[in-house]
Structure 1
Amino acid sequence: MRGVLACVVAVCAVACCTAQHSPPEDLQSMLNHLVQNSGSDVQSLSYCRISTRDLIATAQSTASRVLQGVCNPRELNERFTTLETQVVDQFNVLKTMVLNIEDQLRTQDKQIKKLYGRLRQDLRALRAGASEGATPYDSADYLPEGDAEEEYDYGIENEEQSPRQTEIFRYNSTMHQEDGVRVFTYYWQVNDITYKMNNWGWRRSLRSESFYIFQGGYRMYMRIYPNQRGENVYIHVGLTQGDYDDNLDWPFRQKHRINILDHGFPAEDLTSRVWDPTQLCSGWHWRRPSSGDNYECVGLGFSKETLHSRRYINNDAIVVKLTVILTPS
């Protein structure tokens, strides 16, 4: 925009001061000098490239056509107003094109993530089916819920292979035996954790996808506050409305806990105590959700320094594991 305005001003000055006195070659020479001084920076916007040199060339042509033969200040002002309107209109067209491209890219990105998530889920089902005692099912809800500015994951993906990767693929969104009891486990990867801990406001949170803990069962979610009071990280667990609430017993009574996976060896996960809804908070937190999410009651909190004490951060992400006990021990 600065290049265009500079061009317009220069052309106006040239037109006013050299009309009827300077030959066309002088005008062209000054315009060429302006182009050389303006450079040829290029901005890349997704699939299109917008060149400063092209914009200046367009402005030169428009200015020469609109201001040709004008030396009267009043007429010059009128022509300049017309030129300004034309330039603004051209930039509005460019702006609309860029916004349309961004919308198309955003839509395509969501579609790719959704298909990728379904593929990951199918792979987990195949691997879990080959593992003794693991029962996979279609529990993932591919709906963006929570912080609208944040992207959400449809699976667990690491640039650097984690020693916990086999565990995640085998048990994510499955029911299986653990220490002699039937449990459901869900793994949630929170990406860009360093930026979130350092830059997010202390009240800002990120919500996981919603998920069912068994077929036709309760629907739950997790929420993380990565910069609580500027010092700590908090992860909460809550209930949300589900399609099968009419057929379930209320209030919710399933014991559960969360872990932050340690990707080092030997692994030492950050682990909460086992939360018993019949003993913690009030029945109001565990009641049947009437609209959207219930308020969270239980959660695990720890300092930011704790995440750096071991390999809890892997590829700038943490993995939160929720375990829900489905049968009594």
Structure 2
Amino acid sequence: MWKAVVLYVAVLLCSATSAQQGGAEGIQSMLNHLVQNTGSADVQSLSYCRISTRDLMSTAQSTATRVLQGVCNPRELNERFEAIEQKMDEQFRVLQTMVMTLEEQLRQQDNSIKKNHAKLRKTLRALRPETGGEGGALDPHSTDYLPGGDEEEYEYHYDTGREDSVSPRLTEIQRYNSTMHQQEDGKRVFTYYWRIGDIEHKMENWGGRRSLRSSSFYIFQGGYRMYMRIFPNQRGESFYIHVGLTQGDYDNTLDWPFRLRHRVQVLDHGPSPQDLSSRIWDPTQLCSAWHWRRPDSGDNYECVGLGFAKDTLMSRGFINRDSVVIKLTVFLTE
């Protein structure tokens, strides 16, 4: 649409200028010059345009001077439009960062409420009279039963559907969450576990473009800073998990672009677990270096993602107590 505007303004300018130079011959000469500069056949169809009044010519010349100030031809105007588009893209990235920050604040507030709720329930449990005999032990099948330990243990407590029991993955999570360790095959890795509650509501009621961002975390001391993001209801049918880089305190000491391979998994809490797993993503072969560059304003755009039908997440033991646990593994050695 803007090209048509440029042509229109250019013709007005040509017509106004030509009127002062000698009429039709001047108009035709300017139009021929415009065709040569733009390569557009559309200009030829305007060969017979005329401006008959002095006021209209004056207005056209003033408008063209204002729009094309410092511009010799439509190619330079195109460059200006591209510069404006780039500035708009930068502003959009700023707005995106603001939204992500708000999501992070809401997530932290939600976690704080849950932890306070867990403490309150523990206090109430301690104040209630004993119900299970000597020692004051509560019935483990009651709705007020919580396992011993801190709030993190409650966060990963889950329901098998038959009885209230501790997830078989709890020991793994507590031992390896946010740690570097060595796998059985000798590879040194970093693992991070992200628990997401109220998952069924998110899958059914969130908009297709609404997402949830994890906390930011460093994958080793003085290392890269990363995060995860989920789209629980993408296009109303899929669940997506993405991994990205975000600005960290040690970026100026690290090698860029980011090259460490990584993988995400959704934990299966049922018997004989079979985790839902992505392939191992290699940043040197996936997407472009632009996605893995040093972050300059908050989060980089995510490149890789694991997507699957929501029905898949509803199967086996992926959802327990209305929560899922996503595991990120970053391979620190080749």
Q: TM-score normalized by structure 2?
A: 0.53
Distance 1:238-1:112 versus aligned 2 partners, 3 A rule:
closer
What is the rounded CA distance, in whole Å, between the counterparts of 2:217 and 2:206 in structure 1?
26
| 1:309 alignment partner, SS class | coil
Deviations 1:9-38 (A, max 9, x none): xxxxxxxxxxxxxxxxxxxxxxxxxxxxxx
Alpha carbons 2:261, 2:281 under 8 Å: kept: yes
Amino acid at match of 1:265: P
Alpha carbons 2:194, 2:326 under 8 Å: kept: yes
Distance 1:155-1:225 versus aligned 2 partners, 3 A rule:
farther
Matched, 1:210 2:216: yes
Q: Residue 156 of structure 2 aligns with which residue?
A: 157
Q: Residue 320 of structure 2 aligns with which residue?
A: 314
Matches within 5 A, 1:22-37: none
Equivalent of residue 305 in structure 2, options 299, 305, 313: 299
Matched, 1:183 2:170: no
Indicate the RMSD between aligned Cα atoms, in angstroms: 2.7
Matches within 5 A, 1:255-266: 255-266=261-272
Which deviates more from structure 2 when the two are superposed, residues 180-189 or residues 303-312?
Answer: 303-312
Distance 1:206-1:112 versus aligned 2 partners, 3 A rule:
closer
Amino acid at match of 1:175: M
Distance 1:182-1:295 versus aligned 2 partners, 3 A rule:
same
Distance 1:200-1:111 versus aligned 2 partners, 3 A rule:
closer
Matched, 1:169 2:168: no
Mark the runs of 5 or more structure 1 residues left unpaired by the alignment. 1-105, 118-152
Q: How many residues align?
A: 187
Distance 1:112-1:240 versus aligned 2 partners, 3 A rule:
closer
| 2:312 alignment partner, SS class | helix
Distance 1:155-1:247 versus aligned 2 partners, 3 A rule:
farther
| 1:292 alignment partner, SS class | coil
TM-aligned CA deviation for residue 308 of structure 1: 1.7
The runs of at least 4 aligned residues of structure 1 exceeding 2 Å deviation read 109-117, 153-160
Mark the runs of 5 or more structure 2 residues left unpaired by the alignment. 1-104, 117-151, 160-165
Matched, 1:197 2:197: no
TM-aligned CA deviation for residue 221 of structure 1: 0.1
Matches within 5 A, 1:1-329: 110=109, 113=112, 156-160=155-159, 161-178=166-183, 179-328=185-334
Amino acid at match of 1:233: F
Alpha carbons 1:259, 1:270 under 8 Å: kept: yes
Alpha carbons 1:113, 1:154 under 8 Å: kept: no
TM-aligned CA deviation for residue 287 of structure 1: 0.1
* Identity, % of aligned positions: 67
| 1:306 alignment partner, SS class | helix
Alpha carbons 2:313, 2:319 under 8 Å: kept: yes
Amino acid at match of 1:183: V
What is the rounded CA distance, in whole Å, between the counterparts of 1:110 and 1:258 in structure 2?
25
Deviations 1:97-151 (A, max 9, x none): xxxxxxxxx99x959939969xxxxxxxxxxxxxxxxxxxxxxxxxxxxxxxxxx
TM-aligned CA deviation for residue 280 of structure 1: 0.2
Distance 1:219-1:266 versus aligned 2 partners, 3 A rule:
same
Q: TM-score normalized by structure 1?
A: 0.54
